[in-house]
Structure formats: C-alpha cells, structure tokens
Structure 1
C-alpha cells in the first residue's frame, strides 16, 4: 500500500509545529462533520506556552531534518484486525440474533455514558467526560437523533428517558443560527421517525401516556411541526434554494460566508418535508421543498451530475466540481428515495435517478491499476477535465443505493420470480457488488481494519472508462483474497523498519489490490461513519448473500476494539470515540490513547449502530415481543431482532431515520407539482458508444433485446395458462380483458424501441394463449406500477392534470391546495 504524505507526517516535528501555529488541525470533509473538535486536548496546552515554544520547536525541526537528531520514524505496526469467518459464511439465525444483541449492548453502553456525563447536551466529549450545547437550552442533537435506534432495539427505559427530556426541555426558540440541512435530517427526521414507529408499532419500547389511544405521539409530531415552521425561513430566497443556516428564533435564513449553498444540502430536505405534509395535511412543506428540485433540474446538468455549490440568489450552479462525496452525495440519494417514498407515483424522480446512474458510469467510474477495483472518482474542474481517483467514505452509500433502485427493497430472488429481472438489472447488480468490494478494501487495507475518511487510488493513465459498446463487460476485481489478508498481516509483528518494509512489499505483491490504495496522512481519521455498513445492510437484505453480514461483523468488531474509551480506574468501556488515525498501532496492536479524538458524533448511535443492528436482524417479522430480553432460542432468531416492517415498506432518510412509504396513486391532492423541461441532448448523450446507437440507462426494468423480451413473454404465457379470466400483469399494468391486451399512457422517446419490442412480444404471447387479441390503445402507463419491484417501463412526460392552486388552475400536478390550506381528513388521502 502506498502512502503519500501530501504534507507533514503525523507525529513528526513539523507536524507538531503546524498544530501549534495553526488553528486548523487539518481540513475535513464538509458534510456530517459538524461540530468538529481538535484531535486531542494537548493542543491547548501547547498554545498557552507562547512563541518561545514555537521557536524551540523550529530549532529542533531544523536539527531533525539536517540529521543531528535521530530519525523519529516508527516501524509500521502489524495489522491486528480479526478474521472471523472461515469457509462458508454462516446463515445460522441464532448466531446473527446473538450478534444483533452485541450491537444492542454497545448502543446501551454508548447511551449510558452520554446520559451520565453529558445528558441533554448537543455535543459529547467522551474522553474528558463532558459536553456542551450548540444553542441555549440545547437542541437534543444526540437524544433526538438516536431515539428511533432505541425504539427499534426495544429499549423501553432509554426511550422513556428521552421522551421525557423532549417533553420538558426541547424548545426551538433559541436566538442562534443552526445548519438548515443538518437540523432537518437529524432533528426533523428523528422526530418524524419516532412518531411513525411509536404509533405504528406500539409494542416497540412501549410507553405509558396520558393521551387516550395515542401512545406517544402527538408530542413528536408537534415538536416536528414547530421545528419545520422555523426551517421554512431558509427557503425565502429569490430562487427558492435554501440558505445554509437558519436562526431558530427569528426564522430568518443566514447565508454561508461565500453566499453559496451546498447542492446536496439544499436537495436533501425533501423526504422529511414531504412526509410532514402528508401526515399533517399542510401542503406548504411539500411545495416549498419540492421547488428546489425543479430549479436544479431546469439547469439540465450533463449526465444528471451536478456541481456541489449553488447560488440561492440566482438558482444557478457555482463552480464545476462534480463528486459524489461531501456536498454532492445525498442529492443523488434523495432522487431515488423520493420516488420510493410515494411508491413510484412521482416518476420524474426515477427518470432523474436513471440519468444520474448513467452519468456516473459515463464520467466518474474507473478501475484501479493492479487489483481492478471499481471506484467512483471526482471531476473537480468539470466533466471535460481529468478524473481524480479519490473516494470519500461518504461515497460508500452508493452500492446499497444502486441495489435498492434495482428491486425497490424486495430480494433479487423475489424480483426474478415476478418475471421482470433483465440483463440490465443483472449488470447493475454486478456493478454494485464490485463497488461494495472497493469500499470493503478501504477497511481491509489498514492496520485497524477501519477505513480512512478519504482514500486515493492508483489507476491507469489515462483512466479506463465505462464502455457502452455491445459486448463490453464490467471488469472484475482481484479481491478474492480478502480473507487471507487479515491472516497474513495479523501474524507478522515486525519491530524493525527494514523488516517491515520487506514484509510490506511481500504483502502488496501477494495481494495486488493493496498496491492500489494511496492513503494520505491527513485523511486517515475515522469519525465512526455509517455509509459502508449502510450499503452492507442493503446488499445483504436484497441479495441474501451472507458474506455482507460477515464483512459487517468484522467491521463491527474493529470499531468495538479500537474506538472504545475505557475508564482510567475501572478499565471498563463507557464510550466510543472518533479516531485520529486508522493506520497506526502501538507494539501491542492497540490504538494509542492520543490517537482518539475527544468527540462522538451523533451518527454513531443514530446511524452506524442502527445499520449494524438491522444488518444482523431479520426484516418483515410479525413483530417484536415487548417483554423480550433479546435471548436466543437455539436455531431460531430472537424476536428482539426481528423487525416488524419489510424493507420495501420503508425509506430511510440520509440520517438513517426510517419513514413509511405512501401510496398516493389514486390521490387528486398529492402530486408532483412540476414538469421537466424538454431535454437538450449533449454530444456525449447523443452518441455515447462507438456503435452510435442510443444508450438507455440501465436498471429500468424493461427488456433491451428480443432475448429479454422473450423472458417477459414467457412470463405472460404462464399467467395466461393459469387463468382464462381477466388478469393484470403488474409490470406496466398490462391486462387482458375480453381478449383485449391494453397498453396505457405514454412512454418516452428514448425507450420507444424497447417498449415496442415488449409490446410485440406480449402480443404474440397473448395471441398464443388466448386467441386473437387487438390493441385498443397504443400508449403506456405513465408512472411505474408501485406494487412491482421493477416498476413500469420508464417513463414518459407526466400527464397534464388540471388542479386548483392558489385560486387558479394550473397544469402538471401539484398538491391542489392553496398555500397553507389544511386538508380536513388526512387519513382519507
């Protein structure tokens, strides 16, 4: 593994001087890192010494680099992360129930330490056993964010304590600025999720409440509404793009220092605001947040890929930095999830997601030089400039999100049984699997078995690119030796630099993919982030491949071993802290105390531990027994790790707060309030492959060749053979009634050929089984069938629907309400 310093080596004399003379320890990604803490408390002590210490250290630095001082270089420690599985990964339900209980135990330890040393405070400093508020009175930053994890884990006592604090102490009236995005995804999302879980599944962490027949939970929704009303002020800009911050007391938006807003932050508010509209009947949240997506889409970014900054004043992009890491990531995530949230009733978001996935392949994907690992790079100066082979840990959400978009949450096997699994889906699933391996390599390639915040990779020059030519296949990574790496590296305990260098060279030669990792010293920190385990969660529950659980458990054990904070007197673990480096251990294979940071981000209990728990749990059970203590019955999963919902019934916001999916297909109220402008095709889009043929984004759930269409036809024949009566093939709502096969609605021109192939094949199948059939209408349904994992063939311009809004008739959807008008019967929608 190559280490390029790009600066001073950590622990070196110059590095220490940099710490003293600079207020900024190191540059961190700008997303989900707020607030940021210095890596240790030593820095303040040095700063008090004044300029004399700085001069002395400069002199020592000069002596060091001129050779008068001995080298401070330490041999690289052996890898000590564990290797847990040998042979076939385990499918034993009892084993995974026990491992889910391990996660529950770590959560309880985390919660207890926070409750003891920083209860009610927004920030938790576990090493100093302290905390502080970001605003006067606190926002419940950790309590609210972690609440639904406690509910899912059936922790009645913890939930009761949190709920009481929210009831008595949570007020959004402080005269203080807060980040619009972070407050929405953590606080608003947390309250909405707690409301849904506590009302839909009252047996989870049951609470006694005075509200008749309301076990909780007008409290959560009232707090959520009060918060959302204040957040709306951020959207009060000429373009509708929200400002970066909001004053809670005045509800006035506050621009960032440069006046710009992050594209991801502006476009990652919609799940929460639209959910709130649906359950309160207030359309203003939906309409206000939805406008942001229209503003972005009207700019027609090439390949669907957006620069990471926007001007709230003009509604235009600023700069040309294209990446799926910080400032960009969750924009793409929420395109797919908005489509899922309302079960395919807003096809525009699926269309945008499909364009994005095609654009990612075309412009950002490449492969590493030695191990052939698939990576998603960055175009920091625009799509026509060089690709930077760099991945933030934040990008690790992509493998799971791709898989989610292929089946909408059902298993691959279920999707295949419904007869609509095409070679497009198979190719995209292979893409997701290869990408998942690359993020796992970021963990396997360090001393602790934990990934750095950022990784660079060695790639070919120029980087290889995705090909859209017929017959091209996805490169396969040389990472089948993942298991061997942990064994070979953990067994070598070197003490001399020369011996280490020899063993390291042998290790990278034996495992080519390790040569591709190019880790920079300033990027080696770990904030206990969730994105990789998030993708493992989706990959396992969608593919049912137990290897993803095994990887997750190995990762979990590494977190437990290296992030744990122990009491100085008792030696007991009472907290978990961020790490300053993931690639440096002492002679005993342990993280040094000085390499732990005195902070715990709220996403450790809110996201990371939640996804570990759900990864090791079963989904779609009958429910969780309220009295369950988490015991394991031999050969069976414990009821305490069986979730009452199916993956296809929920959508997780970007902070891992689960929200329900709604069916609004028959609603005349809740509709997409905007239409896409006609697309202006770029040269790349018009001729993406050497063949010059039109390329269709994959993952659409439609046949792309007669071979695929034959599979569809076979499925139609089987259904016809089973019944002589009328029936409906849910893919595309194709039905046969009185020997008439009817296609409905309008499809996009880009998919015309493919839809014709399906139509022709379906006609043959119907004719063979039911005699002569005639087409009544030559149009497809607009919008996907929400009951089918693949949806309908995708997708035409949305139908023009006349609605009443603001006292005038408009076309193209919308909520059908005047602004602020409340719907009387929200349950009837």
Structure 2
C-alpha cells in the first residue's frame, strides 16, 4: 500500500498550494504553475478518509509506480461555440416559452420520481412503481443533480444532495454491477454537480464511488472487470479481467477517472485509465480495420483480434466519443487523444458513413456497422451493414466538436449531414420519433447524384427480408415488395425495422444541441422543438414519460408505453432540450465538456 503511505505528505503539499489560490470555497480557480484546475479548497475529511470501506480492502496487485497528472499550463484551444449576436425580441420570447415547456416536463417527471420512487434507481412512469436496475443507489437521483442545478431548481437540488450523501456504496442490490454504467452515471453525476455547485459533499461521494470502482482494476494486468462481481470484491477475493468485454465499457472510463484525479490531486484514477489508453494506442493500427477498435475485445490477454465487427454505435460508441473530449477536458495536455481520434475518424469516414436512398433525395448521412471478412482469395475485405441506430446519432456532435477543437473544418459538413440524417429519420416516422434500429439502402455514391429509385428501394426491401427474387418478373417483385412493406409497416426509404422501440434516448437532440452551439443555425432550434413535441405527445403518462414499444405503427394509434423511464430521460434528453433553448453561455462548450451521460465537467483553462 505504498500509495497510502505517501498520502499524508502529498496532502500537506496540496493544501499549502491550494490555500494560496482560493479566496472562496464556492469559486473555481486555476493553478498555472501546475497546469490543471482543481475544484474549491478541500474541507477536512473530504479526501483523507483511510477508514472508508473500499479503501481498507487489501490490494492484491499493487503498482510499483503511478503515472503523475499532466503537467504544464493548459493550452489555449480553438473556440468551439459560435459567436452569437443580438437576439431579436420575438425570437427570445419563443425560445423562452419553449425552455419553460421543457422545464415543466422535467419538473413534472422529477416530482413523480420524488413521490413514487425516491430514492430508488428509476420510476415506473405508468404504474407508479420503483425499480432498482443500477445497484439500488438512486440512479435517477444522482444522474439529475446537475440537471436540477442547471434548471435553477435550488430547493430540489439541496433536497437531492442531502439524500445523495446518505447513499452507501458499501453494498449493492445487485451481485454484479456494470462498471461503465456506474462510472458514467454515479461518478459522472457527482463530479458534474460538484463542478457546478462547489458542494464538498458531492466531491466526497465522487471519491467514494471512485474508490469502489478502483478495486475493479485490481487484476494481474490492471485491466478492469467490466461486469464486476461487487459482492466477492467486497470480501477481498482475488480477481482477474475477463476474456470478453465490450470496447465501450472498457475504453470509456477516462473522462470521469481523469476529472476525479484532477479535482482531488490524487493521480491513481488517471493512472488506471491511462493504462487502458496505452493498450488502445498500441492496438489501433493492428485491428482488422486499422484505425478503429472492434466491438468486443479480450481484456485478460489484451487481444483485439477476435471480433470482426466495427461500429460507432452501440457497444463501441463512447470509446470514440471520449477521444476529442479528453483533449478538451485536459486543456490539450494529452495530445495523443487527438491523434487517436484523427486516425479513428478517418477510418470511419472511409468505411462507415453512407448516404441513404430517400424519396426526397435528402443529402444526409448515416453511420453503418462494418464487418471484415475474408474473400475467396483470403484477403480481409470490409463490408458495410447499412443499418441506422438512434444511439449512433451522437456522432454528429462528436464530429462537430472535433472539427473545431482539432481544426478539421471538412468534418463539420459531415457532422451536419449526420445530424440531418437523424432529423430526417424523426421527421419521416409516423409519430415523428426515431426507432432504436432500422435499415436503409445506400446511394451509389456518398457525394454524387442520388435520385429516388422506387424499384431499387423495393428490391432492397426484399433483400433485407431474405426474399429470393432471381426468377421473378418486375411486376412480381413489385407485388411481393408491397406485401413486405405493408407487413413491416415500412415508410418510404426504410428497408427494415429491427428494433421499433423508442426508449427516451438523448443522442439525436444531443447532436442537434451541439450543432446549434457550434454553428448558430436557427433552423436547428425548430428541429429540436418538433422533436420535443413529438416525444411529449407519445410518451407522456399521468406521472411522467415512458419508453415506447413501437413508434412505427400508424399515427392514428398511440404507441404502447412500456412503463420504463431510465435516468437518462431527465439527466440527458431533457437536459439537452433545455440547454438548446437556453442562453448559449449556460454550460458553454468552451468552458465545459459533457461525458457520455451528459454530465458537464469543467475544462482546464490556460
């Protein structure tokens, strides 16, 4: 336990340095000599708590050294946000009216959670029950601390903080927890609320979660256990990384762990995820699709070659999302993240993005999955799977941030077309809501002409349905396609719906929000409002809002409400809707960077 032995000396130096620079515990200040930004001056007991349960467990695989935090003055990075001018009074009135509507939707859902599910993980928004799906630690409570602050609900915020400080992370309602979900929701939630409010109680809870999660890294090769038997870990039993894990769940912990190290001054969390990043960097050029990492890997052996599927969507998404965001978070002090992002994005632009065939000839893009298979000659050939996912809608925002931050201006046009692809999908569904996953036929070219071809679309529909049309006439093909289209309730342009649900996801409005903040294009405000109204109309229950079972049914029927409201409905979706109708200075992208659960962390500034 050499790290703990050094702790008192480190803390003494830390308090001496920070004491010079902080005049008030409610304001943030940077330390130019060290080059990173701490939170407010630490009150006694916030960090030095050697008796905390997770700190007392024996370390089975201690590290000989810990990487130090990045040193030096943060760089002056390129501006991300558009320079907004004077707002016309009529536009302001409309914007504020819409902001109030979002606020009312949030306040209504929060009230229902407070009355029916407090302090459980989730509200069942139809039946009025409660669910514990994320450890029983109040996921909705913690996930929305920063939303309460952002929406200026100070009384509710104080009430929530008081409850959150009583959460015990020493036991869980689940034997196995998802380390990634726990990191982005709980650690991210506490850190963000602390960054916004300066409340020391929240930093203490963040450190408690961080200490617990750090134990998941106590393996022979220091790779974390992503689906973690927290009960056995609490008994001090030996652990090792698994032979299978999703790349997103192992590669998307760096923002939260790094921010925790920055605000506490303890580099152990930064060190933990930097070891993962080193593996990502070493393997990036060696995968079956160089530049990108496959959906699943073998952490125990650090093997990235067993999976041949690559995607920016589900199961991989945030590992790519965090690359440019780490540049922003650390003030450019870790430029290798920008290099990883550039390589990955160039590969995705070549193999993943495609223009779909649409009846209105829309100039939009979607992101496909890519499978790398051997051909008859034994060569590995990337083949695109032309699906679309609501989850992958975050990519437009990611590319917009990367285009500004890393000075890749051509990527902004791609970001807009990807975001427009999600807007188009919303607009062309019966209820104005995008489903989880769907398929579309690709245009012959992403940049050339792409005129609507109804017969070509129908053949793609039949191919998606695995119908053999080799000996059929054109008339027979049309007739058979019409049957499939009717049976599957396909709108023109779509060739299949693989998952017809809408689970209150935020990714589409996330990119619409980011693109608006980056470009200042007011048409995006109209798109956002149309999306909000459609979602409210279909998902609103007597208590709050519910996920929907099928958004492809005819518009005269209301989609079935599945009695589910994950914490991200208020913590992400409504937060982004609120922010797009707020003053651009509220959570500026030049001052904050969002984690994948929409928790804003304070960026290091020069």
Q: TM tier, shorter chain?
A: 0.7 to 0.9
Cα-to-partner distance string for 1:633-673 (whole Å, 9 max, x where unaligned): xxxxxxxxxx2x4211111000000001114xxxxxxxxxx
Q: What is the CA–CA distance in structure 1 between the aligned matches of 2:105 and 2:433, rounded to whole Å?
A: 17
342, 345, 349: which one aligns with 1:361: 349
Structure 1 SS opposite 2:370: coil
**Cα gap change, 1:280 to 1:553, in 2 (>3 Å):** same
Aligned to 2:335: 347
The two structures have a TM-score, normalised by structure 2, of: 0.73
530, 545, 557: which one aligns with 1:554: 530
Q: What is the CA–CA distance in structure 2 between the aligned matches of 1:135 and 1:106, rounded to whole Å?
A: 24
Aligned to 1:646: 588
Q: What is the CA–CA distance in structure 2 between the aligned matches of 1:118 and 1:156, rounded to whole Å?
A: 20
Q: What is the CA–CA distance in structure 2 between the aligned matches of 1:401 and 1:447, rounded to whole Å?
A: 28
| 8 A contact 1:303–1:358 mirrored in 2 | no
Q: Does 1:133 align with 2:116?
A: no
Structure 2: unaligned runs, 5 residues or longer: 1-87, 374-379, 453-477
Structure 1 SS opposite 2:311: coil
Aligned length: 470
| 8 A contact 1:457–1:517 mirrored in 2 | yes
Structure 2 SS opposite 1:237: coil
Q: What is the CA–CA distance in structure 2 between the aligned matches of 1:161 and 1:590, rounded to whole Å?
A: 40
| 8 A contact 1:140–1:170 mirrored in 2 | no
Q: What is the CA–CA distance in structure 2 between the aligned matches of 1:218 and 1:648, rounded to whole Å?
A: 25
Q: Does 1:393 align with 2:393?
A: no
Deviation of 1:179 (Å): 0.5
**Cα gap change, 1:139 to 1:239, in 2 (>3 Å):** same
**Alignment map for 1:582-731 (pairs within 5 Å):** 582-585=551-554, 589-592=556-559, 595-620=560-585, 643=586, 645-663=587-605
The two structures have a TM-score, normalised by structure 1, of: 0.54
Aligned to 2:30: none
| 8 A contact 1:449–1:555 mirrored in 2 | yes
Cα-to-partner distance string for 1:682-735 (whole Å, 9 max, x where unaligned): xxxxxxxxxxxxxxxxxxxxxxxxxxxxxxxxxxxxxxxxxxxxxxxxxxxxxx
Aligned to 2:281: 297
Q: Over the residues paired in the alignment, what is the CA RMSD in angstroms?
A: 2.8
359, 368, 384: which one aligns with 1:377: 368
**Cα gap change, 1:527 to 1:253, in 2 (>3 Å):** farther
Cα-to-partner distance string for 1:222-265 (whole Å, 9 max, x where unaligned): 11111111111222334433212234453569789x84111111
Aligned to 1:515: 492
Q: What is the CA–CA distance in structure 2 between the aligned matches of 1:112 and 1:612, rounded to whole Å?
A: 19
519, 522, 531: which one aligns with 1:543: 519
**Cα gap change, 1:556 to 1:477, in 2 (>3 Å):** farther
Q: Does 1:575 align with 2:544?
A: yes
Q: What is the CA–CA distance in structure 2 between the aligned matches of 1:449 and 1:297, rounded to whole Å?
A: 41
Structure 2 SS opposite 1:193: helix
Aligned to 1:336: 324
| 8 A contact 2:249–2:315 mirrored in 1 | yes
Aligned to 1:458: 441
Aligned to 1:168: 166
| 8 A contact 2:137–2:168 mirrored in 1 | yes
Q: Does 1:275 align with 2:234?
A: no
Deviation of 1:114 (Å): 1.1
Q: What is the CA–CA distance in structure 2 between the aligned matches of 1:271 and 1:662, rounded to whole Å?
A: 13
Structure 2 SS opposite 1:384: strand
Q: Does 1:285 align with 2:269?
A: yes
| 8 A contact 1:240–1:312 mirrored in 2 | no
Q: What is the CA–CA distance in structure 1 between the aligned matches of 2:450 and 2:102, rounded to whole Å?
A: 31
| 8 A contact 2:137–2:172 mirrored in 1 | no
**Cα gap change, 1:585 to 1:147, in 2 (>3 Å):** farther
Deviation of 1:451 (Å): 0.3
Q: What is the CA–CA distance in structure 2 between the aligned matches of 1:556 and 1:141, rounded to whole Å?
A: 24
Aligned to 1:153: 151
| 8 A contact 2:549–2:561 mirrored in 1 | yes
Q: What is the CA–CA distance in structure 2 between the aligned matches of 1:116 and 1:476, rounded to whole Å?
A: 56
Q: Does 1:403 align with 2:400?
A: yes
| 8 A contact 2:367–2:387 mirrored in 1 | yes
Structure 2 SS opposite 1:380: strand
Q: What is the CA–CA distance in structure 2 between the aligned matches of 1:475 and 1:528, rounded to whole Å?
A: 35
| 8 A contact 1:110–1:575 mirrored in 2 | yes
**Cα gap change, 1:404 to 1:278, in 2 (>3 Å):** same
Cα-to-partner distance string for 1:389-448 (whole Å, 9 max, x where unaligned): 012111101111111112239xxxxxxxxxxx7xx51x3222111111111121112111
Aligned to 2:123: 124
Q: What is the CA–CA distance in structure 1 between the aligned matches of 2:249 and 2:548, rounded to whole Å?
A: 26
Q: What is the CA–CA distance in structure 2 between the aligned matches of 1:449 and 1:353, rounded to whole Å?
A: 33
Q: What is the CA–CA distance in structure 1 between the aligned matches of 2:520 and 2:449, rounded to whole Å?
A: 21
Deviation of 1:515 (Å): 3.2
Deviation of 1:320 (Å): 1.1
Structure 2 SS opposite 1:659: strand
